[in-house]
Amino acid sequence: MGRRAERAKLRERLARVIAYGEMMGPLTVVTGPRGLGKTSLLRDVADQAASDGFVVCWTVGLKRKPFLDELLGQVARAMARTDSVPTPASRRHLEELAVQLNVGLVKVEARANPSGPGPAALDRRSVGQVEEFLGEAARLIRAGGGAGLLVMIDELHAPLEPASDRDSSQDQEAVNDAAVLLNAVQDMAAEKERFPLGVVGAGLPQTKTLLTRVATFAERTREIALPKLDGATSRALLTEPAGPFGVAWSGDALNWAIRQGDGYPQSLQIELVGVWCRSCSGRIGVMSKRYPPEFKDRAVKMVLSHLDEYPSVYAAARAIAPSLGCSWESVRRWVVADRAPARDGAGEVEEARRVRELEREVRDLREANEILKAASIFFAGELDPRRR
């Protein structure tokens, strides 16, 4: 929600891979401050790409750490898991390329220098080898009936971060990795018809600048800068998870939460869960779920007056509730309660009232729990610490 334009740009570029079997173009990087939903956007695009026939490989950059071995290893492992390698000869060729790059469809130790991997391995790794490995993997996926290969790199800025505010030096191994990858992607984009492949990254606003320090042609990197969410989208993010449960925000509370969230999905989620928790515990009354009696009476009269047009109370409530701005289940309960025969005796009336109160409290607690679950799932992409 709120990222339709950015999502459409990425899917449009991937559509070229699907339709023509050609590379989606230069490296594309989604940038923005933390909490704006970069990882969630990439996850959404990756899920859609997988359903479109892509083999998706995902890696996360770590601060001042080399990353290319992990990235290529993810590609190798993804190829091993799929049926996209059609012949034994093709698999052997891909394994040979993997061994040369010190990643693994087979154990590297069986073919590599006995001294083990290290800085020297970076010197031996050529741009051509990376290009050949990624290209061969992508072509095999295509030959096996898939769309192509999609490589996702989250936190792309992290390996290239300077040592400190006072020391602008970068980790040389990480810089070498970025240079190799950028050159390989650049070369493949120049012959795009040979490579059914896409490479997409995400990082903080300085990502493109850091890449340009590694290779000047990185200026051609396609950047998609995420803006803050506007007020209407922030409002929808706060209200829509609650809608199916018949829960409504009071106007003041909603405006306060929108101001506090400041257009950041993560901040909005924090405000959402915090307000709901406090509301459910009874500490503050910022969310409204109590409808006045006259509203309920009007809803009941509307349903009853049109009941002969529907096969059941359930159907009538489902049809009429949207025009009232409340949940159909609430309307159905009001109608059922209104049509129920009255009990005789003050004791029975009081007992029935108390039972209804207890049932309502149980329902409220259950609905509050479901709301919190829905909110957590909705924002899971941003809050998962493994994706930072």
Q: Which residues pair with 167 in a beta bridge?
A: none
Q: Which residues pair with 150 in a beta bridge?
A: 56, 198
338 within some domain: no
**Contact between 23 and 188 (Cβ < 8 Å):** yes
pLDDT in tens, 217-266: 877 899 999 999 998 888 888 888 766 656 677 778 788 888 888 888 87
CA 41 – CA 206 distance, rounded (Å): 19
Predicted pLDDT at 273:
65
| Span 93-101, average pLDDT | 67
The 3-state DSSP class for residue 150 equals: strand
Range of the domain at 150: 4-227
Predicted pLDDT at 312:
83
Predicted pLDDT at 111:
34
The 3-state DSSP class for residue 62 equals: coil
177 within some domain: yes
Least confident of 6-10, 115-119, 346-350: 115-119
Q: Token digits for 380? A: 């899971």
The 3-state DSSP class for residue 148 equals: strand
pLDDT in tens, 297-356: 888 888 888 887 788 888 888 888 876 767 777 888 888 888 775 444 455 555 666 666
360 within some domain: no
CA 33 – CA 54 distance, rounded (Å): 29
The terminus-to-terminus CA distance of the chain in angstroms comes to 21
306 within some domain: no
- Residue 386 dihedral angles phi and psi, to the nearest 5°: -70, -15
Number of CB atoms found within 10 A of residue 53's CB: 16
Q: What is the mean pLDDT of the chain?
A: 78
Predicted pLDDT at 243:
67
Give the model's confidence band at 103: pLDDT under 50 very low, under 70 low, under 90 confident, else very high: very low
Overall domain count for the chain: 1
Predicted pLDDT at 252:
80
CA 161 – CA 182 distance, rounded (Å): 17
- Beta strand 248-249 with 287-288: parallel, antiparallel or unpaired? antiparallel
Give the model's confidence band at 107: pLDDT under 50 very low, under 70 low, under 90 confident, else very high: very low
What CATH number is attached to the domain comprising 219?
3.40.50.300
Q: Token digits for 223? A: 């950047």
**Contact between 287 and 249 (Cβ < 8 Å):** yes
268 within some domain: no
71 within some domain: yes
**Contact between 177 and 122 (Cβ < 8 Å):** yes
Give the model's confidence band at 200: pLDDT under 50 very low, under 70 low, under 90 confident, else very high: very high
**Cα torsion 363, 369, 373, 376: sign:** positive
Least confident of 14-18, 113-117, 153-157: 113-117
296 within some domain: no
Give the model's confidence band at 120: pLDDT under 50 very low, under 70 low, under 90 confident, else very high: very low
Name residues whose C-beta falls within 8 Å of residue 166's C-beta, 6 or more positions apart in sequence: none
Predicted pLDDT at 282:
46
**Contact between 99 and 113 (Cβ < 8 Å):** no
Whether the pLDDT of residue 66 is over 50: the answer is yes
Least confident of 181-190, 209-218, 232-241, 285-294: 285-294
Whether the pLDDT of residue 371 is over 80: the answer is no
Predicted pLDDT at 308:
78
235 within some domain: no
